[in-house]
Amino acid sequence: MSAHFATAMAQAKTAKKRRQLWAALLRALAEDLVPERPGRREPRAVKHRPKPYPLLTHPHHTFHENGRPCHCK
């Protein structure tokens, strides 16, 4: 479908025709429903848990393992 619209957009002679084609493409995309997928689960949960570590607020080379900035070079 998108290849058809791409070809038609390239061959459109006027800006008005390109706008009409663009509107038709958006309508076609909006009308295309997502099919029902039996057995599919979509959990509403966050995958990554917050970790008990501090944020890395300094560059890696100045950060020390205990979480405080390292003052070595």
pTM: 0.45
pLDDT at 72 over 60: no
Number of residues assigned to the chain: 73
| CA–CA gap between residue 71 and residue 55 (Å, rounded) | 18
Express each pLDDT in 26-66 by its tens digit. 998 888 888 888 887 776 776 677 777 777 777 777 766 66
Closest by CA position to 19, among listed 32, 31, 30, 5: 5
Q: Which residues have C-beta within 8 Å of that of residue 70, sequence separation ≥ 6?
A: 62, 63, 64
Higher pLDDT, 52 or 13: 13
